[in-house]
A = this chain, B = another copy of it.
Amino acid sequence: MSKIIRVNMSNLTVTEEAVPQKYAAFGGRAMTSAIVADEVEPTSHPLGKYNKLVFAPGLLTGTTAANSGRLSVGAKSPLTGGIKESNAGGTSSQKLARLGIKALIIEGQAAEGKYYTVKVTKDGVTIEEENQVVGKGNYEAVKALSARYGEKVGVILAGPAGEMKLASANISVKDPEGNLRSAGRGGLGAVMGSKGVKAIIIDDADAPGVTIANPDAFKEAARVFAKGLMDHPVTGQGLPTYGTNVLVNIINEAGGLPTKNFRTGRFDGANKISGETMYDTIVARGGKPTHGCHAGCIIRCSQHYYDKDGNYKTSGFEYETIWGFGANCCVEDLDDIAEIDWHCDDIGIDTIETAVAAGVAMDAEVVKFGDSKGLVNLVKEIGTGSALGRIIGNGSVFTGKAFGITRVPAVKGQGLPAYDPRNVKGVGLTYATSPMGGDHTAGYSVATNILKVGGYVNPLGKEGQIELSRNLQIATAAVDSTGLCLFIAFCVLDNAEAFQAVVDMINAEYGLSLTGDDVTELGKTILRIEKDFNKRAGFTNEDDRLPEFFDEDVCAPHNTKWDFTDEEVDEVLNF
């Protein structure tokens, strides 16, 4: 019953095909990266008709496995020029899985200026010209589309930024409460916009659902897995209480919180934007301190942040966003950062890339560091399509070039997230070498460097970091293929039983007998596919480098520099 659906936007046709044998064990990132690598000419223009945009639920998506509802999106990235997978929560992934759709491929390109809504149901796929929500903010669009197609449908959106083909445009996915989750990084929203696809509706009414080969074994493994998540201090306590923003105080204390466009690792105003402060604020205003981004999430790291008047302001208010527009821009006002987060979601733009771009723009004195109202206006500018908005909306490297700023924390064109690589060196190796560009999620060494999950590697030293980044990148590529939230890694790194339960769930669903080694091999396979695509696109080892200022400028409080040699960096993914 599993199938791949192709939507050709050049001639507005839809075809279905069986999943080829070579993709049988693929889901999520494995599926998107394999299809992109097999079908997209690596040198083609990312916004041209030869790029393809691939949506894929994970191997476990659509089942009762906890936290298994992530949606992978893949394409050649307009931000990095390389292969990209970005994943998000929301309701669409589980609906695709229940419809038996292993991949939805958008290819070709609609006529200039035309937009369409692609509707996926159990009866097939239709393509309808879209006029109502083009040019509208995402919050309005998701409401209008839900009203049109039914409140229960899944909605996937290219926002105004995607329509403008900005290189930081994200893809937004409706969550269980009708708000927005983002496949944030790498500009995939611009690819969606370039195809002329404004929205994708997933209606799983009367869908066949997911078949489980061995239901009893699945149920038992799912129970062990869920118990593991609940029992682990990070996934059972830290994240549910404070959300990802629990990290502000932790990373600040560790001296790894990039401040003032990556000048130091400590921010004086950290406490004002911390998870603890945020929790108190949410509770005091009657917001929701914890909720899940998709059905079946038991970590529930998201929240509803309310404004001073007690009204909903934003959700999925992440550490990365709060760090980026906070410490990185020297802004201490959590309400202003929430306002910015809302605008980013509404415009459909990646908060990390936009925050890093804003820090660079502040170095050019477009807005002063610490000017939170100026920062709000700068982000709103993106939605207007003004020249300044287009500069910021094209990301950190673009902004640096526009203003002649050389202090641009980015790798492969993608701005670096919320951990200074000089003071959390394992993640620096991930930034440098991930085929995705500067990305923390690709191999979150912070877990072991700072949180002491999966052991401990001194964040300031070099010893053990190469192996740490390598192993985490391999494991992450595998996790990203399951549809499981990456945060389950905190648990499975420490709990061998929970790790085995993930393997057992896959085996029980598909009637397989994979081992842990097979999972490692899957991760390696994915990374090889991605590295090969990038190589064919023209990438070399010289693209696996941090910007030179990290080698030069000493970072307080540990007075460190980036000190890995090129040869050492090249060892990370040398397998």
Contacts and interface: CB of A to CB of B under 8 A. Distances in A.
Interface stretch (A27-35, A307-315, A383-391): A383-391
A152 interface: no
Contact of A391 (B48, B164, B402, B545): B402
Interface in A358-385: none
Interface stretch (A218-226, A232-240, A536-544): A536-544
A401 B404 contact: no
Interface string A540-566: 111101011000000000000000000
A146 interface: no
A403 interface: yes
A406 B157 CA distance: 22
A294 interface: no
Determine the main DSSP class of A at the interface with B: loop
A394 interface: yes
- Identify the 8 closest CB pairs spanning chains A and B, nearest first: A165-B404, A538-B542, A387-B387, A387-B388, A390-B402, A538-B540, A45-B406, A48-B406
B194 A542 contact: no
A44 interface: yes
A398 B402 CA distance: 9
14 contacts: A47-B404, A165-B404, A190-B404, A194-B406, A387-B388, A390-B402, A391-B391, A391-B402, A398-B398, A398-B402, A537-B542, A538-B539, A538-B540, A538-B542
Interface of A: 42-45, 47-48, 50, 78, 164-167, 190, 193-194, 386-388, 390-391, 394, 398, 401-404, 406, 536-543, 545, 547-548
A403 B547 CA distance: 26
A541 B388 CA distance: 34
A190 B547 CA distance: 19
B543 A538 contact: yes
A390 B390 contact: no
A193 B406 CA distance: 13
B402 A401 contact: no
Contacts of A537: 542
Contact of A402 (B47, B394, B406): B394
A165 B398 CA distance: 13
A390 B403 contact: yes
A112 B489 CA distance: 45
A548 B387 contact: no
Q: What's the number of copies of this chain in the assembled complex?
A: 2
A404 B406 CA distance: 24
A9 to B, nearest CB: 15
A47 B394 CA distance: 20
A402 B543 CA distance: 23
Nearest to A366: B387
A373 to B, nearest CB: 19
Given A387-B388, A387-B391, A50 B398 contact: no
Contacts of A387: 386-388, 390-391, 402
A541 B43 CA distance: 11
Contacts of A48: 406, 548
A11 to B, nearest CB: 16
A401 B187 CA distance: 12
Nearest to A543: B538
A78 to B, nearest CB: 8
Contact of A43 (B45, B386, B391, B545): B545
Contacts of A548: 43-45, 48, 50
Contacts of A164: 404
A545 B538 CA distance: 11
A218 to B, nearest CB: 45
Contacts of A386: 387
A413 to B, nearest CB: 10
Nearest to A166: B404
Q: Which of A44, A164, A388, A391 has the most CB of B within 10 A?
A: A391
B401 A167 contact: yes
Contacts of A50: 548
A78 B547 CA distance: 15
Contacts of A545: 43
Contacts of A401: 78, 167, 394, 398
A352 to B, nearest CB: 19
A190 B400 CA distance: 13
A539 B538 CA distance: 7
Contacts of A44: 548
Contact of A404 (B194, B402, B403, B543): B194
Contacts of A194: 404, 406
The listed residue with most B CB atoms (<10 A of its CB), out of A47, A190, A404, is A404
Nearest to A391: B387
Contacts of A78: 401
A386 B401 CA distance: 14
Contacts of A539: 538
A45 B545 CA distance: 12
